[in-house]
Amino acid sequence: MDGGQVSTAAPEAHAGEPADLPAGPTRDLGPLVAELRRIVGEKWVYTQEHQLRTYESDGLLQYHVSPVAAVLPGSTEEIQAVVRACHAAQVPWVARGAGSGLSGGALPIDDGVLIVSTRLKRILDIDLANLRVCVEPGVTNSAVSAAVGPGFFYPPDPSSQIVCSIGGNVAENSGGAHCFKYGFTTNYVTGLELVLSDGELVQVGGKELDPAGYDLLGAFVGSEGTLGIATKVWLRIVPTPETAKTLVAFFDSTRVAGEAVSAIVQAGVVPAAIEMMDHLTIQCAEDMAHAGYPKDRGAALLVELDGAERECEARFEEVLAICERCGSDDIRVAKDEAQRALFWKTRKAAFPAMGRLAPNYFVQDGVIPRTKLPEALERIEELAQEAGLPVANVFHAGDGNLHPLVCYDGSKEGEAERAEELSAAILDVCLSVGGSLTGEHGVGVDKKKHMPKQFAEPDLAAFQKLRCAFDPDGLANPGKVMPTPRLCGEVPGPYRRHPLEIAGLAERF
């Protein structure tokens, strides 16, 4: 390819390996593997096929690639030495946390090394007086709140929080149900220690807010492992609210439930969470969680308010009234902590419950202006009917962050391809109403081909300049995020068709 202006055709979703990642080890990496073993110890370098199986996919199971080696360093110094060795050998690498990402961000490259942070699980410092905690990247999201609780907590709460790592959260700028009120990961990271792609160790930010200089924290959070590896993370924590009140309101359709969401927000209420489940999701989640939800209703809205007792009470009454006014005739208020937990369990059961509908599904992740929810959901339903595939919707309604689950049976001829096309059409709907390609799951390999739909060539070139400033040799997670990776130093110019395109052998995304 001429500097990556062209990439080969869209990855075949089910063939396993995205088409424009390197095609296999092209040289002997034995000396590098020996060096990795020397750095971290024999038992923390996996090279056998059966050992690498665990690491060949992340949560986007449609892709799988075996790296040359998966290495599990036990300290920052070891990560640094591993990255230095890769740099010396000019071998690309991919950082991996828990591997729960849904966009293929931690998908290995087959002539590269996978650097796994699961051994780095120490909570390094808890400073409640300054509302800070400092952790290693392999610490799980829920372990942070557990470490600082019960008086304090760490708000970003991806549904995968019991397994996903803080390093992965930082790289994906992860969100969750409570981000409507509390904000995303980026609002909580105050400092990072990073190993850059040449092995240099740098610190950006720290405990303090608003550090001097360029906002490199802002650049790193959400950079999907393409700017370096986070080895230490300083996080802001907040006091646990005095109380939380939770309800589930049932509606006839997602359209009216969507109108209730807008009405709640317009009334000036800021719930901690507003989550919606559509008809299909209610059915599947109820069969799994047994919360007593009516399986014939069109939509369920889970609303949680938290804060000071009296304010919470007053605002909760407002929300109840709005839900009734918008057409809900069945509103259930959590009587106690056990019932609140059951409401949340039912919501969080939604993804795994899809196994009841079909053996496979794509989790789509787009974000739209909240007021466009009814319009977008109707269009998605039409597309699902046209494609003849069920699409269940469960999402962070307050943020307008949709998660359509496109269900299919991969063993049926052509169904996976139809599901992928439908998934892409859903993204187009999000963009057409003024939304974005991803709300919280990242671009990874999955969505990079769609990036030019949202960004113009000069915008993408600006992203690439930043990436090259951090990683001039292109060793950190190459082949991800950017649709048409070009070599660092290449001067972007007007687009010229590549000979392979002209010959009809490759296409430009």
Ligand X SMILES: Cc1cc2nc3c(=O)[nH]c(=O)nc-3n(C[C@H](O)[C@H](O)[C@H](O)COP(=O)(O)OP(=O)(O)OC[C@H]3O[C@@H](n4cnc5c(N)ncnc54)[C@H](O)[C@@H]3O)c2cc1C
- Binding residues vs ligand X (CB under 6 A): 58-59, 94-102, 105-106, 117, 137, 158-160, 164-165, 167-169, 171-172, 174-176, 224-225, 229-230, 351, 440-441, 477
Cβ at position 489, least distance to ligand X in Å: 24
- DSSP-assigned states of every residue in 6-45: SBPSPPPTTTBS-TTS--S--S--HHHHHHHHHHH-GGGE
Token pair of 506, please?
Answer: 């490759």
For the record, the structure tokens of 315 come out as 């605002």
Nearest CB to ligand X, comparing residues 45 and 233? 233
Question: Whole-number minimum distance, CB 246 to ligand X, in Å?
Answer: 17
- 436-439: list long-range contacts, CB under 8 Å, 24+ apart: 436/366, 436/367, 436/368, 437/366, 438/103, 438/365, 438/366, 438/367, 439/175, 439/365, 439/366, 439/367, 439/396, 439/399, 439/400, 439/401, 439/402
Residues 6+ apart with CB under 8 A from 284: 350, 353, 354, 356, 357, 392
| Residue nearer to ligand X on the CB measure, 205 or 498 | 205
Shortest Å distance, C-beta 479 to ligand X: 11
* Pairing state between β 299-307 and 273-278: antiparallel
Which candidate, 470, 444, 447, places its Cα nearest to that of 106?
A: 444
Cβ distance to ligand X smaller for residue 158 or 478: 158
Question: Closest CB to ligand X among 172 and 420?
Answer: 172
Q: Measured from the CB of residue 474, what is the shortest distance to ligand X in angstroms?
A: 15
Find the Cα–Cα–Cα–Cα dihedral 420, 424, 425, 427, rounded to 10°: 140
Alpha-carbon 36 to chain mean position = 29
CB nearer to ligand X: pick between 315 and 441: 441
Least distance in Å: CB of 500 to ligand X? 28
Strand partners, 301: 249, 276
Task: Kindly state the tokens that stand for 145.
Answer: 């709140």
Strand pairing report for 69-71 and 113-116: parallel
In the complex with ligand X, the residue whose CB is nearer, 169 or 328, is 169
For ligand X, the closer of residues 145 and 169 by Cβ is: 169
| Cβ distance to ligand X smaller for residue 259 or 399 | 399
> Between vectors from CA 326 to CA 321 and to CA 331, what angle results, nearest 5°?
60
The residue of the chain with the least Cβ separation from ligand X equals 168
CB of 403 to ligand X, least distance (A): 8
Distances (CA, A) of 490 to 22, 90, 299, 464, 496: 20, 19, 51, 10, 14
Minimum distance of ligand X from residue 109's CB (angstroms): 11
Which C-beta is closer to ligand X: that of 173 or that of 328?
173
Distance of CA 455 to the CA centre of its chain: 19
**DSSP single-letter state for residue 63:** B
Minimum Å gap between C-beta 382 and ligand X is 26
Q: How far is the CB of 428 from ligand X (least distance, A)?
A: 22
